Structure 1
Amino acid sequence: MKNIIGGKQAPATRQARPGADAVRHLTVDESGAGQRLDNFLFRSLKGVPKTHVYRIIRSGEVRVNKGRAQAETRVEDGDVVRLPPVRVSERATEPGAGPQAPAREFALLHEDDALLAVDKPAGVAVHGGSGVSFGVIEQLRAARPAARFLELVHRLDRETSGVLLVAKKRSALTRLQDQFRERETGKTYLALVLGDWPANKKVLDASLARYLVSGAPDGKAEGERRVRVVPKDHPDAMRAVTLVRVLARTTAGPEAMPLSLLAVTIKTGRTHQIRVHLASAGHPIAGDEKYGDFAVNRALQKAGLKRMFLHAWRLRFTHPASGEPMALEAALPADLSGVLAPAVLTEISSDARIS
C-alpha cells in the first residue's frame, strides 16, 4: 500500500517505528513536487541520519519510478519513491530530539514575496548532510518559524561564498529551477588562480565525471566524492562548459608568485565544475584544498589567504512572479579582498559587464 507524502510532515514518517524492516513506497503529492530527492527524504525520514540518507541514495537502494536516482533528482507529483528498510531510533523520533539548527539570518541581497537572496559566507554548507548537521536553509527556517515555505533554488560549495537564492513559494521554486535547468540564468564567479591565465583561453568544454576516492583502511568509511575530467565518450561523462575572462593579473607572497583574477561564467552546473576545469587547464584556484597546489596554498596562507578564492559574484535571472529581469551582486568579502592589491580591487569595482 502506498503512503502519500507531502512537503512538510509525512504520515508514513509518523508511523515509522524503531527497527522497521519493510520496504516502503511513497507517492509524491503536489506539495512535495519539485523538491530534490535528498530534501524530500530528509522530511519523509525524520530521525534517520542524513549521512545514511545519502548512503542509500548512492547505493541505488532508493528508486524513483523503479529507476535509480541521484540526490539532486527532482521528484514530481505522482512519482513513486521506493525506500529500503531503515532503522529510526526511538529518541530520534521524539519531539525536539537530535541537534537543532540554530536560528540565523544571513546578509540579504534581495527579498520579496516570492524569493530571497542571501550573501552566503564561506564555511557554511547550504544544507545539512554528508557529515554536516545543518546548513543555510535549516538555519533560515529556524530563524523564520512563521515562514510556510523556504527551499533552496540552487547550491554552492561549502567553501564558496556569494549569491544564493531561496524560494518562498512553490511556484517560485519551480519557475526558478526551470531557468537554471534550461540555462537561462547567468552565474558569474570571481576566482583567483595560480599563474598567468592565457588571454585567448576563453572557453573550457571538457566533460566531467564523479568518483569516490578510497575510504579508511578498514573499509568501513566511505570514500570522498571527487570530480575529474574524462573523455566525452566516457560512460559517466557529463558535458560541462565554462567561460573565462581575465579581470586582472597580480602577485602574492615574498616570491611574488603570479596570479590571475578571473570572471568565470558557468553554462552548466556540474559539481566542482569551476574548480576542476581551472585545475585541469593548469591554473588551479588559490587555496583549493581538493584540486589545488598544496605547497603553493601553504605559501598563500602566510600571505593572508586562509581559504579557497572562489566567490559567487553575480547572478542574472528572470523574476518568477513579475517576469522582470533581475541582476544581483555580492561584493567580494573581506577575507578575499584583503589579499588583493588596491589596483585589482579597482578593476573589480569598475567592471560593469555581467557575463
Structure 2
Amino acid sequence: MVLRNGEVGPALPTRVKAGTGGIRAEAPPSPKRESDDLEFLRSIILFEDKDVMVLNKPIGLAVQGGSGTYRHIDGMLESMRDRDGQKPRLVHRIDKDTAGCLLIAKSRLAASVLAKSFRSRDARKVYWALVPGVPKPRQGRISTYLAREESEERMRVARHGEDDASHAITYYAVVEQAAQKMSWLSLKPVTGRTHQLRAHLAHIGHPIVGDPKYFNIENWEFPGGLQNKLHLLARRLVIPHPRGTGVIDVSAPLPPHMAQSWAVFGFDASQYDPILEAPEA
C-alpha cells in the first residue's frame, strides 16, 4: 500500500533492480512511452523474422542501462513483449557511441542458440572506421592483451598474466585512403573485448576519428567538414540462423556523420569489403 495525498491507495507496480548502492525501484514505462519506444524500434529494424531482429542502433543510444543511463535498447524492448510475456533479448552488445547492426533474439531458444554461435565464433562481424594516417602494413592482425584502467572507463594494453587481462585479436584492412591523411578501415574482431577495436587502433597509432576516450594524437587538427563524433560502424553481421535454415547476413548503412565524412573524402561505400574472410585466429 502507498500514501497518495495522505490517503492509503493500492501499491504502485514497480520493477526492482539491484544497484551498487542498494535496491532501486523503477516505475514501469507509461503506455505513451511504450508506444513511442515500439514505434522507434520498428523504425530501425534492418531484418526481422519470427525468431530474430537486427536493429540499426544509432550513435549515442546505449544498449543496456548503467549509472545515470535510463534510456537504452534493453529497456525499450519491454514494448515488444509478446502475448506470452516474452521480451526480446540482447544477444551481444556494441558501444553507446558505435552505430550499426545489433542482433536481438525474440525467444529464449533463439537467444541460447545465437549466444552459442558467438561463443564458438560462428558469428562474423565487420566494422568500418575512419582513422588518421595509413596503417602499415595495409592489411594486418593486431594481437594484444587488454585490461581495464583502474581509474578510467577505458581499456589499456596489458601483459600476459596480468590480473583481468584478456587476449584480444583484431584483423584490419585499408579499404580506401585520402592521400596519407586519412584511411577507411574494415575491421574484423575475432574476440569481443570491451572497446577492443578502439583500444587496438589507438595502440597501432591510428585511433578512430572522434573517439573521446582513445584518440591520443597530439596537436592533430580536426579536418573541416567532419563532425567530432566516433567514426565506428558495426557494418555487417553474418551468423547462422538459430533454426539451422541458412544464415542471417545483414549490413547497416553509414550513419549521417560518417556518410558526411565519406562524401568529404570521396569514399565509395559500395566498394568490396576485403575483411570478411579473414582467419578466425
- 2:126 counterpart residue number: 188
Q: Partner amino acid for 2:164?
A: D
Q: Distance in 2 between matches of 1:94 and 1:337?
A: 39
How far residue 225 of structure 1 moved from its aligned partner, in angstroms, is 1.9
Q: Relative to total residues, which structure has the larger helix share, 1 or 2?
A: 1
1:345 to 236, 243, 267: 267
In the TM superposition, residue 238 of structure 1 has moved relative to its aligned partner by 0.3
Instruction: Report the Cα offset of residue 211 of structure 1.
Output: 2.6
Structure 2 SS opposite 1:47: strand
1:286–1:297: 8 Å Cα contact kept in structure 2?
no
Query: How far apart, in 2, do the equivalents of 1:206 and 1:283 lie?
Result: 16
Corresponding letter in the other structure for 1:338? Q
CA gap of 1:335–1:96, structure 2 versus 1, over 3 A, is closer
Q: Percent identity of the aligned residues?
A: 32
Query: Is 1:245 equivalent to 2:214 in the alignment?
Result: no
Alpha-carbon distance change, 150 to 143 in structure 1, aligned in 2, over 3 angstroms: closer
Which blocks of at least 5 consecutive residues in structure 2 are unaligned? Answer: 1-13
Structural RMSD (CA): 2.6
Contact 2:15 2:27 in 1 (8 A): no
Distance 1:173 1:124, change over 3 A: same
Unpaired stretches in structure 1, ≥5 consecutive residues = 1-44, 57-85, 214-223, 252-256
1:299 alignment partner, SS class? coil
Residue 115 of structure 2 is matched in structure 1 by: 177
Deviations 1:203-236 (A, max 9, x none): 00011011332xxxxxxxxxx4211001122222
Deviations 1:106-165 (A, max 9, x none): 421110111100111000001221320120122232266656221111001000000000
Question: In the aligned structure 1, how far is the partner of 2:28 from the partner of 2:74?
Answer: 20
Q: In 2, are the aligned partners of 1:127 and 1:137 still within 8 Å (CA)?
A: yes
Letter in 2 for 1:175: V
> 103-112 or 153-162: which moved more?
103-112
Give the whole-Å Cα distance in 2 for the aligned partners of 1:96 and 1:350. Answer: 43
What is the identity, as a one-letter code, of the residue corresponding to 2:169? V
Check whether the contact 1:121–1:160 (CA below 8 A) recurs between aligned residues: yes
Q: Distance in 1 between matches of 2:23 and 2:187?
A: 44
Kindly provide the amino acid, as one letter, of the partner of residue 167 in structure 1: A
Residues 297 and 119 (structure 1), Cα distance of their counterparts in 2 relative to 1, 3 Å cut = farther
Which residue is equivalent to 1:309? 231
Q: Which amino acid aligns with 1:173?
A: A
Aligned length: 256
Query: Could you give the per-residue CA deviations for residues 181-222 of structure 1, whole angstroms, max 9, x where no partner exists?
Result: 111111110011111111355000011011332xxxxxxxxx
Q: Whose strand proportion is higher, 1 or 2?
A: 2
| Residues 126 and 136 in structure 1, CA contact (< 8 A), matched pair in contact too | yes
Q: 1:333 aligns with which of 246, 249, 255?
A: 255
Query: Is the CA contact (8 Å cut-off) linking 2:138 and 2:174 kept in structure 1?
Result: no
Instruction: Report if aligned partners of 2:97, 2:230 keep a CA contact under 8 Å in 1.
Output: yes
Work out whether residues 125 and 135 of structure 1, in 8 Å CA contact, stay in contact via their aligned partners in 2: yes
Amino acid at match of 1:284: P
Match status 1:46 vs 2:6: no
TM-score (norm 1): 0.66
Give the C-alpha shift of residue 340 in structure 1. Answer: 1.9
Out of 63, 68, 74, the position equivalent to 1:137 is 74
Partner amino acid, structure 1, of 2:215: G
CA distance in 2, matches of 1:108, 1:323: 21
Structure 2 equivalent of residue 262 of structure 1: 185
**Larger relative contact order (Cα-Cα within 8 Å, sequence gap ≥ 6):** 2
The CA deviation at 1:95 is 6.3
Q: Report if aligned partners of 1:337, 1:345 keep a CA contact under 8 Å in 2.
A: no
- For residues 201 and 133 of structure 1, do their structure 2 counterparts lie closer, same or farther at Cα, with a shift above 3 Å needed? same
Residue 290 to residue 343, structure 1, CA distance change in 2 (3 Å)? closer
Shift of 1:268: 0.2
TM-score, normalised by the number of residues in structure 2: 0.82
CA separation of 1:47/1:298 partners in 2, compared to 1, >3 Å: closer, same or farther? Answer: farther
The answer on whether the counterparts of 2:129 and 2:187 sit within 8 Å (CA) in structure 1 is yes
The letter of the residue matching 2:123 is T
Q: Does the residue aligned with 1:322 lie in a helix, a strand or coil? A: coil
Q: How does 1:275-294 map to 2 (within 5 A)?
A: 275-293=198-216
The structure-2 alpha-carbon separation of the partners of 1:198 and 1:172, relative to structure 1 and needing over 3 Å to count, comes to same
